[in-house]
Structure 1
């Protein structure tokens, strides 16, 4: 697409941002209200910001103008942070991590459920491609030196011996086919004999014509039916890379290269123009500011007979000194209290009235408190408004030169650099004037011969906002070692591990389309795999990808992902690392056996993990079998010492600060075997992968069979999905790989793939038994969020019953 396309897109997006921020501010103006009133408003805002996120991501990825891209990035990060804030408000509103979209809101905004799912911004990885590639190469190179060879993709390059074997096998097959065809012809000649006349009767010719015309008609009908089904979407086209999509990706990659070139030109212009401006105007600005300050000080001395107190740099410096009025009105006003005695009496009377309320009103107030809700304050809304206003003022209605519209604007750079240079020179002149004022004050005191009064010492710079928070710094056990050496040590010991690149969208699953109807009927909707994918994005990927968003958004330190074997827990961890370019630290108990032994070794291990994870952030600390450190009784056959990190896990997780882009992820198949109190002390969020529903299984079969070329009209996809109901997605894919061998793929052209082949193979795999589902459901009801929700609902029911009983007794 062209430059005009993306410029028009950002203009349209700016108008949508205005609408979203107005709706957002209206929600805050509403203050505290009933929960039912906030539910559609927050759902509407979440979808609006999701659409804005996808639009801004597309613009930022392809826009060329470097200065405009800075504003777009501010908007993108601010919208992303606001989206996460709304998600946490929805969690508090519903008292559940699973929040579903309202169908009425989707219809009103014209958004599909797929579009309502947040996308992962591309700049998370694209702006750090070189760093991520170096990190992956360092890991693989270190492991290769230790003798570990990572699995390589299949290469088309063959050795001479392999090529000879393949040619021989194909030649034997060709000769066999020719020999069989020759023998078939001989057999037919012997059976039928030859027609001595060499002429065919008229009836035979008519029969052949009839058969041929019927064949032609059936073939044309089949072709037209196939084209019609492709047109209306009843059938998928053969899987192949679209030329249009391929061409689009090539154009995008070309624009990214031009984008890097323009960005480099912009950075060079910043340095060059700043140096030119310093050489041209530095001395003049210095003299002007110095003359202004000296003239102002002399006028002040003539008017008051004393020298002014010069503010510190944090206090505003000379700019703050110029703005002083010297009237003393502010101090007088600040001394007087704005609350009168009458107001205080009224407040006391109101307190007395509240204390004297009857029990009925107390119950009503408690019920209202439980039913009411108030949104938390936003740290990103002002950024969205200010960045959008800045875009509208500078870029939206600007008529630019066609030739240079996407290159950096030098006039804008000069204005920004002049402000920066003037401020830096002003700070230097302020320091010089402070020393001059000290000398002048000392000379004045000597002239006046004030023996009892001494010159005032210059005030020390005091940090605004009070004292610095005294945070205990951890003792550095490796102060003399470089990051590369620590990194290499952890890779050598298998703590830092390589992982395959996986996209979060490869976790295939449909969203729950009946959730809104279930909620309207007062039922609790069941989540689907698509809802779990969205949860992982909102709690793990989106906060971890941006430093600004991570620092200011609600903090999620740790996440527990539970589910049966083959449900995709490990894949989700790999997707988190792939989408954010994170470093993976494996703290699984089985992986720590024999590494860093003893108490001192454990202290060193924790120190290395926390130090390197902060240095190489974003980082993911992963523990498989997360329930094992908290199991009451360890089996005698388990030699991994799983309780080694039991006491330090809470310390590790609580040591993760908002500034640290570090996330602790635990995966577990049987979390109910652990001590629940200790388990939930470690993990603030719990994501349970449910049994795959019919829609998700059907989508999975359609996607993978289409890629394999095995999707045909003879395949009963609905029947296959029903048969696969009690199996996890991983188990189904393993069965498919077992059935679709290379030989079977070659036979698909002749013999269509059937559901029976997979069904027979599934009989040899273990399904998810009902006992496991019941145990998982029972455990889920005991999680902190579910317990809190149950307590609130129970209390509301009790209050309603008490009010009804009192009303009946009063009558």
Structure 2
């Protein structure tokens, strides 16, 4: 597509952003409101920002102009952060991690449930392709040096009896083909002789014509019916990339290459233009600021009979002094870059947000907490408003007639660099003036023979003041080692592992469409696999992908994913790493057996994992069988020493700060075997993968069979989905791979796949038994979030019953 297409799309998105921010500010300014009334408003806002996120992502991925892309990225990250904030507000309102969309909001915005699911921004990976590829290659090279080879397919080894049977079957087939060819030749000779004698009757020719015409008519009807079903969406098109799709991808890739060229030109221009401006105007600006400052000091002394104090650089320097005294003597350069007056408000918001993150907010009254809720202060809403206003002021009506190739604008760079140069020179002149004022004050005191303390530099007071960082500095056990050496050591010991590249959208599953309606009736909806996919995006992938979002958004340090074998826990971990471009650290008890032995070795292991995970962030620290460290009694057959990390897990997770793009993920099949109090101390969020419902199983079968080319009208998908109930998706895929061998794939054109073949294969596999489902459901109701939710629901019901009794009286 052309540049105009993406520019028009960005203008349209900017208008939608204005509408969304107005609605968002109205909700926030309303203060505390009833939860029932606030929930649909926040749900609608979440859908709005989700749609805007997808539009901004497509614009940022294909826009060429480098200066405009900077504003688009600011909007993209701010929308992403605001989306996560709204998600956490909805969780607090509904007391559940699953926030089902309101049907009215979807209809109002004309959005499907799958479009209301957040997309993963492409810049997470695209802007770090070289870095991610180099790290993967380093891991492969290190493993190759250690003698590790990727697993190869095992060679086919046959016994003598199996070989004899294969040879006999092939020999019989060869003899059958020869006999068939011989009989065909005899039949052709007979027909040829019959034709020569004129024995063929006209009735036979008519019969052949009738059969052939009927066959042609049926084939044309079948083709026309198939085209009609394709048109109305009743049948899936063949699974292959058409030429148009390939051409569109080629165009997108070409534009991405142009983006890199424009970005390189822009970066070179930043340095060259700054050097030119510094050479041309540096001396003049220095002299102008110096003269202006000396004149102001002279006038101040004549008016007050004392020398002024120039504020520190952190307080704004001489520019802040001008604005405080109200002399109106600022230069034109100073006026072009005024100091922001919203610092106190921003710091106040950050304090409120920090207190809400740490859970230090004052508890509300019990009745008010049940009925009303006040949204937390947003760290991203003002960024969206400011960036959108900047876009509208600069870019919305800017005509690019003279810049058809979308290159940088030199005048904009010059304005930005002049402000920067003026500020740097002002800081130098201010420091020189402070020294001169100190000498003048000393000489003045000496002349007046005034004894007293020596004048102190005011900037030192400011620099000593302020909040100190309360973050404890950990002792570095490896101060002299490079990052590469630590990286190589962890790879050699199997702590850092390569992982297969998996897309989160490959985790196939339908969404729960009746969740919101069931909650209105005070019923507990059962989430579907599509809701699990959305939770993984919102809690794990989206915060990890952006440093700005991770630092300012609500913090989730750790996530526990539970579910039966084959439910996709490990796939979700790999998807988190793949979508965020993260390093994978494996702290599974079975993986660290015999590595870093003893107490000192354990301390070194924890230190290396935490240090390298921060150096190579984003990072995911993974522990499979997360319940094992907290099991009360370990079987004697278990030699992995799972309780080795029991005392240090909480320390590891609490050592993850907001500025660290590090996430701790635990996976477990039987979390109810662990001590629940210790387990929930470690994990902030608990995600339980539910039993696959009919919709998710049917969608999975349709998608996988269509991709394999095995989907046909003869295959009863409904029956197959019913038979597949109580099996996990991993088990179903395993059965499909066992049925669709190479030989069976070649036979699909002649003999279509049937549900019976897959059902026979499933009969030999283990389902998820009802006892395991019951244990998982019982454990789920004991999780902190669910216990809190059930308690609030009970209190609300008691209040409703009390109100009814009072009304009856």
TM-score over 0.5 for the pair: yes
Q: Is the 8 A contact 1:49 1:79 kept in 2?
A: yes
Q: Secondary structure at the match of 1:591?
A: coil
Deviations 1:215-260 (A, max 9, x none): 1211111111111111111112221112111111100000000000
| Residue correspondence of structure 1 range 253-272 to structure 2 within 5 A | 253-272=253-272
Q: Secondary structure at the match of 1:584?
A: strand
**C-alpha displacement at 1:449, in angstroms?**
2.1
- Aligned residue number for residue 655 of structure 1: 655
Shift of 1:322: 1.7
Matched, 1:185 2:190: no
Point out the more displaced range, 681-690 or 394-403.
394-403
Structure 1 residues 187 and 269 mapped into 2: Cα distance closer, same or farther (>3 Å)? same
Does the Cα contact within 8 Å between 1:630 and 1:643 map onto a contact in 2? yes
More displaced, 407-416 or 232-241? 232-241
Q: Distance in 2 between matches of 1:759 and 1:191?
A: 49
Match of 2:487 in 1: 487
For residues 371-403 of structure 1, the C-alpha deviation after alignment (integer angstroms, 9 at most, x for no partner) is 111111100000000000000000001112344
- 1:581-600 alignment, distance < 5 Å: 581-600=581-600
Q: Give the Å deviation of 1:180.
A: 4.7
Partner of 2:526 in structure 1? 526
Q: Which runs of 5+ in 2 are unaligned?
A: 155-166, 328-363
Q: Deviations over 1:92-116 (max 9, x none)?
A: 0100000100011100100011100
Name 1:612's counterpart in structure 2.
612
TM-score (norm 1): 0.90
- Using the TM superposition, give the Cα deviation of residue 151 of structure 1 relative to its aligned residue in structure 2, in angstroms: 4.8
Structure 2 partner of 1:340: none
Who is 2:722 aligned against? Answer: 722
Partner of 2:472: 472
SS in 2 for 1:300: helix
Structure-1 residue corresponding to 2:432: 432
Matches within 5 A, 1:391-410: 391-404=391-404, 406-410=406-410
| Partner SS state of residue 665, structure 2 | strand
State the match for 1:50 in structure 2: 50
For the residues of structure 1 that align with 2:189 and 2:467, how far apart are their CA atoms? 108
2-structure distance, mates of 1:656, 1:141 = 30
For residues 519-668 of structure 1, the aligned pairs below 5 Å read 519-668=519-668
Please say which of residues 225-234 and 661-670 is displaced more in the overlay: 225-234
Match of 1:448 in 2: 448
The alpha-carbon deviation at position 52 of structure 1 amounts to 0.3
Q: Distance in 2 between matches of 1:740 and 1:296?
A: 87
Offset of residue 457 of structure 1: 2.4
- Deviation, 1:129, is 0.4
- 1:510 corresponding residue in structure 2: 510
Residues in 2 aligned to 1:91 and 1:144: alpha-carbon distance in whole angstroms: 46
Q: Deviations over 1:511-544 (max 9, x none)?
A: 1122233233332211111000000000000000
When residues 153 and 639 of structure 1 are mapped into structure 2, their CA distance, relative to the original with a 3 A threshold, is: closer
- After TM superposition, give the deviation of residue 462 of structure 1 in Å: 1.6
Q: For 2:443 and 2:766, how far apart are their aligned partners in 1?
A: 94
Matched pairs, number: 758
**Distance in 2, Cα, partners of 1:616 & 1:100:** 35
Query: Within 1, Cα distance between the matches of 2:127 and 2:798?
Result: 55
Residue 375 to residue 502, structure 1, CA distance change in 2 (3 Å): same
Does residue 113 (structure 1) correspond to residue 125 (structure 2)? The answer is: no
The answer (yes or no) to whether the contact 1:314–1:464 under 8 Å persists in 2 is no
**2:457 is the counterpart of 1:458:** yes
Alignment match, 1:313 = 313
1:390 maps onto 2:390 in alignment: yes
Deviation at 1:470, TM superposition (A): 3.3
* Post-superposition offset of 1:464: 8.6
Moved more, 243-252 or 218-227: 218-227
1:748 Cα offset (Å): 0.7
CA drift at 1:453: 3.6
TM-superposition CA deviations, 1:566-613 (whole Å, max 9, x none): 000000000000000000000000001110000000000000000000
Partner of 2:705: 705
Q: Secondary structure at the match of 1:623?
A: strand
CA contact (8 A) 1:445 1:455 kept: no
Query: In the TM superposition, what is the alpha-carbon distance from 1:455 to its structure 2 partner?
Result: 4.4
What residue number does 1:208 align with?
A: 208
Q: CA RMSD in A?
A: 2.2
| Structure 2 residue aligned with 1:34 | 34
Distance in 1 (CA, whole Å) between partners of 2:172 and 2:4 is 59
Deviation at 1:775, TM superposition (A): 0.5
Aligned to 1:277: 277
CA contact (8 A) 1:693 1:725 kept: yes
Q: Is the 8 A contact 1:585 1:621 kept in 2?
A: yes
Gaps of 5+ in 1: 155-167, 328-363
Displaced runs of 4 or more, over 6 A: 171-177, 189-193
Measure, in 2, the Cα distance between the counterparts of 1:136 and 1:116.
Answer: 33
Deviates more, 1:521-530 or 1:657-666: 521-530
Distance 1:427 1:193 in 2: 107
Distance 1:289 1:443, change over 3 A: same
Tell which deviates more after alignment, 318-327 or 766-775: 318-327
Note if contact 1:627-1:671 (Cα within 8 Å) is conserved in structure 2: yes
Cα distance in 2 for partners of 1:701, 1:534 equals 21
Assess, with a 3 A threshold, how the Cα gap between structure 1 residues 210 and 295 changes in structure 2: closer, same or farther.
Answer: same
Residues 172 and 274 of structure 1: CA distance in aligned 2, closer, same or farther (over 3 Å) = farther
Match of 1:60 in 2: 60
